[in-house]
Amino acid sequence: MRGNGALDLLGRSANCATEQEETAAGDSVSDEAARRRVTVHDVARAAGVSLATVDRVLNGRPGVRSATAEKVEEAIKTLGFSRDLNASLMARSRDLSVVFFIPDGSNEFMDALAEAVSRRAGPALSDRMHLSTQRIRALDTGALAAGLDALDPRSCDCAVIVTSEEPDILAAVEAATRRGIAVMTLVSDLPGSNRRHFIGIDNVAAGRTAASLLGRFLPQGGTVAVIAGSLHLRDHLERLEGFRQILSADFSTIDLLGPFEGHDERQETEALVANLLAENPKLSGIYNLGAGNAGLVSALKISGRAGNLRVIAHELTAPTREGLRNGAVDVVLDQNPDGEIREAIAAARALALGTSRTVATDPIEIGIFLRDNLR
Amino acid sequence: MRGNGALDLLGRSANCATEQEETAAGDSVSDEAARRRVTVHDVARAAGVSLATVDRVLNGRPGVRSATAEKVEEAIKTLGFSRDLNASLMARSRDLSVVFFIPDGSNEFMDALAEAVSRRAGPALSDRMHLSTQRIRALDTGALAAGLDALDPRSCDCAVIVTSEEPDILAAVEAATRRGIAVMTLVSDLPGSNRRHFIGIDNVAAGRTAASLLGRFLPQGGTVAVIAGSLHLRDHLERLEGFRQILSADFSTIDLLGPFEGHDERQETEALVANLLAENPKLSGIYNLGAGNAGLVSALKISGRAGNLRVIAHELTAPTREGLRNGAVDVVLDQNPDGEIREAIAAARALALGTSRTVATDPIEIGIFLRDNLR
DNA sequence: CCAATATTGAGGTACGTGCCTCATGACCTA
DNA sequence: TAGGTCATGAGGCACGTACCTCAATATTGG
């Protein structure tokens, strides 16, 4: 850092030499480097209007004749112009603000989602994104709707919600969208609403995967019990559907017992499993497609049969991790909350560009965890 | 877009009202919004120097006394200043350029990596990142070293390499680093080098997972054959190690046959598997921890025993997908090339900030695929 | 046709950083 | 002490966008 004035001169002349090298060697590099970024200036020139007009069109400000606006929009399409989100946020000296509405309660998976948000909040800040979380009492659709209604488009660009399908939520999503707030659904979709994007796993595939694994785990056949949280939940129903589908198609020697409802509660699930084990001494497997895994693991341990039957559960949380480690649980299907939040953030940026109505994100893979690949 | 001058006024007054609401309701939001970003100006003020000096320190330009430089660096630490990468790239009107060196040849996994790069190249451009790929003849360390040596720090900020451990590569990495190019390893690490980051899966865990699944698939015990590409490859050895570890610890009724070497070649692997099947009519499973899966699937199909033994392979490519679909392969362990490229890009940005010597990325999960959760 | 209004253009400042020039002062050496 | 080098400051222009003001047209209604 000191006394390298001479080095600097040396560096310059060296650069001149390598410049030629580069041009000779890597044509593609210099070609693409030369292709300048399309800016608002280019759009203005192409449309034959001033910068101010382009700006008015881009930001939906009044005072532009529709004929002129069309000229501008055509130029944007022709040139393939896309607003530079970073420059835009910088100019407004305003972060892109995303609010996550996540159910509160005893559900550890939801806690994992919330943790993933706060883990990414810091790093996201350096990309000019402000992430915040609001925990909503589970299944309290009124509270969620109120939360959405309270969002001010000037302090919130995008809302991400985890919700079941309810009319008042649909209305709130509609209203938020009209105010200019993009709404995305997470984990469970809201078909028929005008949410801009959905991020979650394919729950039918998850159910199929569970059946496929259990089938291979039990080549001699046997009886497998299925436990759901509630048969009113879309994702649980989908998992059940996939599970049944593969069992009946590929594993006819396996009998299905249930489904039972544990209501995603620790104690209820524990009682349910204890009862199941007592009444079915020859039970060879359990698929818990809902939550309440602490109860599942505890009942297995108390019964003394942990490790003697094949068990598959959902979501990699503290109780399922413990189950994997002590052998009570064989496989955990995980919906990768961290990846979901990552994609939600990416989608929020894409939506902020506002180029297209829909946005593409990487699909969320179903994570399959055994004791041996626990992260 | 037209005639909403009145609406605009309406919007403004409404905003004034909701502003108070917001301040009352969500304190955290307005608090954090008020916390201004730390800029070079703040650093200059805190260090009691001019902007030019801060700039000289930040960009390693000469002409700063070490005592002054220390003052600046202390101010940076105290304020927690971090260069705004987007503003920086914008000011230089220069994209962050990352070059991926990916082995060429018949390896479909490497093709998947290259495809992932080009798939992300477009979107990355809008974050001012320029991704390019150079295919290097597989195992041609000379070519890779030459490629690294040819990189000009003015047109390349970061190199990502897939390589085995060779002395000439180590030297080339060292040289590139000294020229100011950050080097990252992908898939297989290069310990002892000064690569800035490694992105890949835990291959020991992958081997353990394969053993754990096969063990559960074969509750009656049996004989399982193991095929590697080459026992000179670090990742293959690690997988074998993990596989043996779990098999001997947890599944004593399973006998291991091999390891055999198929050299990641289709034909060699096909002959190997055909021979294995012919000589071991009671073989109950195969774990191919290397490539050459087209040969594996073809031999199984020809033998007529596809579906009668449990088969686990690596990397979700065309032949393994086909194997999953037609039942010849039960499980594919995948190292998620797309995720690896995603994290490589994220790491390259983090390295460009140059704040810390090391960088944290999301770990790459081992993907476990059955026919039922194929993406 | 004139006045009122709507539309458009020109240009400035800001955001945070990079990079350049020029001027000033401190220090060292002959 | 003069001449030189070195360290530092001051300030400007650029990147791509947002947002503002003011002036200059264009259009419309009466």
From chain B, the residues in CB contact with A20 under 8 A are: none
Question: Which candidate, A218, A160, A177, places its Cα nearest to that of A342?
Answer: A160
Judged against a pLDDT cut of 70, whether residue B16 lies above it is answered with no
Is residue A25 pLDDT above 90, yes or no? no
Q: What's the token pair of residue B35? A: 């916390």
pLDDT in tens, A144-185: 999 999 999 989 999 999 988 889 999 999 999 999 999 999
Of B307, B326, B300, the closest CA to residue A215 belongs to B307
Q: Tell me, what's the pLDDT at B356? A: 76
Report the DSSP pairing between strands B331-334 and B367-369. antiparallel
CA distance B139 to chain A (A): 22
Strand D lies under 7 A from the Cβ of residue A39: yes
Specify the pLDDT at position A193.
Answer: 93
Does residue B276 carry a pLDDT above 80?
yes
Q: Is the Cβ atom of B50 within 7 Å of strand D at any atom?
A: yes
Q: Are A214 and A288 in contact (CB under 8 A)?
A: no
Whole-number pLDDT of residue B2 = 33
pLDDT bin (cut points 50, 70, 90) of residue B34 is low
Percent of chain A surpassing pLDDT 90: 71
Are B3 and A62 an interchain contact pair (Cβ–Cβ within 8 Å)?
yes
Average pLDDT estimate for A273-290: 94
Residues of chain A found within 8 Å of residue B204, distances taken between Cβ atoms: none
Residue A6 (CA) to nucleotide D1 (C1'), in angstroms, measures 29
Task: Quick: pLDDT tens for B171-197.
Answer: 999 999 999 999 999 998 898 999 999
Q: What is the pLDDT of residues B53-69, one digit of tens each?
A: 999 999 988 888 989 99
Interatomic CA distance for residues A268 and A277, integer angstroms = 14
Using an 8 Å Cβ cutoff, are B58 and B81 in contact? no
Q: Is the CB of B5 under 7 A from strand D?
A: no
10 Å Cβ neighbour count for B263? 14
| Residues in chain B closer than 8 A to A118 (CB atoms) | none
Cα four-point dihedral sign A86, A87, A89, A90: positive
Lowest mean pLDDT among A10-14, A47-51, A178-182, B225-229: A10-14
Alpha-carbon dihedral sign for residues A187, A190, A191, A195: negative
By Cβ distance, the residue of A82, A209, A310 closest to B216 is A310
Q: Which pLDDT band, with edges at 50, 70 and 90, does A51 fall under?
A: very high
A107 token code pair: 């559900």
Q: Which candidate from B26, B218, B373 shows the least CB-CB separation from A205?
A: B373
**What confidence tens digit (pLDDT) does each residue in B147-164 have?**
999 999 988 999 999 988
Q: Which amino acid is at B50?
A: S
CB A255 within 8 A of CB A224: yes
**Strand C contact nucleotides, protein CB < 7 Å:** 6-12, 14-21
pLDDT of A29 reads: 40
Q: What is the mean pLDDT of chain A?
A: 87
Q: Average per-residue pLDDT in chain B? A: 87
- Chain D bases closer than 7 A to any CB of the protein: 6-12, 14-21
B40-53: pLDDT as tens digits? 999 999 999 999 99
Angle at A128 (CA atoms; ends A347, A41), nearest 5 degrees: 85
Cis peptide before A259 (omega within 30 of 0): yes
In this predicted model, which residue has the larger pLDDT, B354 or B70? B70
How far apart are alpha carbons B327 and B335 in whole angstroms?
21
- For residue A265, the model assigns a pLDDT of 86
Mean pLDDT calculated for residue range B221-241: 91
Q: How confident is the model at residue B230 (pLDDT cuts 50, 70, 90)?
A: confident
Residue A263: pLDDT above 50?
yes
Q: Note the pLDDT of residue A35.
A: 67
Nearest CA in chain A to B99: A29
Note the pLDDT of residue A62: 87
The protein residue nearest nucleotide C9, judged by CA to C1', is A50
Q: Which residue of A has its CA nearest to B14?
A: A152
Residue B18 has pLDDT above 70, yes or no: no
Per-residue model confidence as pLDDT tens digits over A235-255: 899 999 999 999 999 999 999
Query: CA of A58 and C1' of C12: distance in angstroms?
Result: 20
H/E segment holding residue A102: strand A96-104
For residues B303 and B258, which has the higher predicted lDDT (pLDDT)?
A: B303
Candidates A94, A372, A374, partner chain B, best to mutate (most B CBs within 10 A): A372
Strands A310-314 and A367-369: unpaired
A302-A306-A312 Cα angle (round to 5): 120
Cβ pair B18:A127 closer than 8 A: no
For nucleic chain C, give residues with Cβ below 7 angstroms from it: A 48-53, 56, 62-65, 67-69, 87, 90-91, 93; B 2-3, 5, 36-37, 39-41, 51-52, 55, 58-59, 81, 83-84, 87-88, 90-92
Answer yes or no: is pLDDT of A132 > 60: yes
Are B218 and B285 spatial neighbours (Cβ–Cβ below 8 Å)? yes
Which residues fall within 8 angstroms of residue B170, CB to CB, at 6 or more apart?
B190, B192, B193
Q: Nearest CA to CA, how far is A190 from chain B (Å)?
A: 22
Q: How confident is the model at residue A34 (pLDDT cuts 50, 70, 90)?
A: low
Q: Which residues contact A17 (CB under 8 A, 6 or more apart)?
A: none
What is the set of domains in chain B, with CATH numbers?
32-81 (1.10.260.40), 90-200+339-363 (3.40.50.2300), 203-334 (3.40.50.2300)
Q: Strand A158-161 and strand A310-314: pairing?
A: unpaired
